[in-house]
Structure 1
Amino acid sequence: MATDVLYSGRAAAVAALAVAGITLTSIPAEAHPGAAGPGSRRPAVQGAGVRPVTSPGAPELPDGLSARSWMLSDAGTGDVLAAKAPHRRLPPASTLKTLFAVTVLPKFTAGTVRQVSATDLEGVGDGSSLVGVEQGGRYTVADLWRGVFLRSGNDAVHVLASMNGGWDATAKEMQQTARELGARDTSVKSPDGYDTPGQVSSAYDLTVFGRAGLANADFAGYCATARAGFPTKEGVNQIENTNRLLSGSHGMTRYPGIIGVKNGYTTNAGNTLVAAARRDGRTLLVTVMNPQSGENNAVYKEAGALLDWGFDSAAKARPIDTLRTVGTVPGDDSRIRTLTTDTVKVKAAPPASGGASAAALWGGGFGAVALALAGTFIRRRHRRRRGTPEEAA
């Protein structure tokens, strides 16, 4: 199986998370008017223009930013570096799959096998992006997630949602997850991001979902994969990630330091993108929604320009806001202290090899311990919510 990023079980997933440099429970919580505590900064309100950067020595923002909404933040610290209308509610297209993954991915082990039924594929929308899931086919959960992240396959989303209790139940659970993460601009109607009346999100919320996703080793591994094999009746079909900053295709070069996350397109949403990149020990997240310039690859070019600006502005631009972090995993009542960058530091690792171990990839073993804790918290959360154990492999 040809892959751009080589993964080997749990060690490889840990390697992806180590490269991302995101701590495991440092995820955004309530950060909207009425929810923030005394003295905390709040993001720009809906409809606001570009937030100015006034720090001495900070470079000017890039020219030609035509997106209706965008936001750039530091994934490690939660600092918001610049934004335009970050709470403007817009159709998210397939970037909503980040929330789907944050909600559903922890529930099923990668090796769990699903034989797809006709019911699993009911309701896939006309014109949907597909990875090629076939009725009667047998797929591992890992196969299905690669179909979601690389090909944005709505057929794979439908199968995973069916495993999760059904389409409507999954939409409701995604809505609850969004609320627990403090994402108040999102209304989930179709878990795959397909254009549906009333379905909206925002640059702020999608950043929240991307950041929470990167704190999960499996999410980090899938979203960083540029090419992989997908099973078919004839054998294995090679699939390529539709995120052009990652795959370096269709007139785009691979962005230096890119580590994911998810792109999307629908008629109503236009082009949307959540992208993360890491340089010099710093991970930035950018969300771009619906560029208006009409230029080819506009969503990728504008995202790349904002990432360039963010890396160039290191130690120069003063944050305009900060994503707050939760002290416990959402839905868990164990009152465990947040593992922030001050308590557990995830060290960047060299590319994983087939024989690499998780302990070797995280300095001092802290990362492995944090990963085990996070996995326990997530499983406990979902067992409590659904009342059933995780499906066995």
Structure 2
Amino acid sequence: MAGACLIGWDRPHDFGPDERALLTACAGLAGQALLRAHSFDAEHELVGMLQRTLLPRRLPRLPGAVAVARYLPTTAGLEVGGDWYDVIPLADHHVALVIGDVQGHNAGAATLMGQMRTALRAYATEGHPPDVVVAHANRLLLEMETDLFATCAYVDVDIEEGTAWCVRAGHLQPVLRHPDGTAEIVRAEGGPPLGVLGQAEFPMTPLRLLPGTVLALTTDGLVESPGTDIDAGMDRLAARLAAADPAHLGLVADALLTGAHRGDDVALLLMRYDGLAVRPLRESWTVWRVPEAVRHARRFTRRTLRAWGISQDTMDAALLVVSELVTNALVHTDGQVRLDMSLVNHRLRLAVADASPRSPVKPTSIGWEATGGRGILLVEAVSAAWGTLPVSGGKQVWADLVPDG
């Protein structure tokens, strides 16, 4: 039973055969309509939950930049599609901005969107350059043997230097709003959509960002509508972005979405580049595999930290960390070893990169007879924090110290 319908008269009424047949048929049609409505509501809630789960719940806070995003589902059908966006913090004050669109408007497109977003995030955090990240995603989509394809724009921004590399896979061009109020549609080179060609190339286009620059990435639902050329839509987006106040990025995003045609999904990602208030101090040293390699690394560390004005107590801890990390890299890995040091916001980071992807394991307990395993425990004891990052097929083991004063 889907429900009950009561029909009443002011006085006693006898139902004839025709009335009974009519009322029975109406009740059956009404019951079917109610069941279909309940089924549609349940399916609508399911796909809406799927969409919300696959998109980021919140964007990360970025040093030297602010990012906001908006997503509007289509008003047609189940209101679920393949548009997505992501903001991925990377090492050394880099951040990856990603926006994409999977073909179709159904649960299959949304599921594939989630897989592509996860894959791009994984490839990016492994430390690959932008063109390699997109190429890996293209290969993955081809191996999934789906009939769907996807477009994507990937921008790797160096917050410290104010530079960026843009890679497009069949997607719309980025739009830049410069600090002087002018807007520019970036003519970035592009490759084919993901999942189309196995040997596709995805060229990188350099971008220059001055403090106050706003970078806008969007999907075609915002700039394309029936009877309107997509180039005209991009010009309109650039003009509206130029007229907006970049100080309130959330209001800018809302204004850009005003009047958007809802026949397609719309994803919008904005980032305002402000630049770092204090530029980090950085130095690097290539560790050669010679008998006195650790002593050379310690001497380089001591000379650099003295130039930076680091106290003796912090320097002693830093020398211990460098000795342990460099020794572990030389003993347990092959290939090149590099020591990187940086000082930013009163935090000293010491990092040693090698060619092995295997991370060091902290022992749970060490007996008096053990000959190894104490190095990581010593690093943990003298550091404020430590960890590992994947870097282009290898890893980087880092430790942070907080200098006195």
**Shared fold (TM-score greater than 0.5)?**
no
Q: Name the structure with the higher strand share.
A: 2
**Larger relative contact order (CA 8 Å, sep ≥ 6):** 1
Higher alpha-carbon Rg: 2
Give the TM-score taking structure 2 as reference length: 0.26
Give the TM-score taking structure 1 as reference length: 0.26
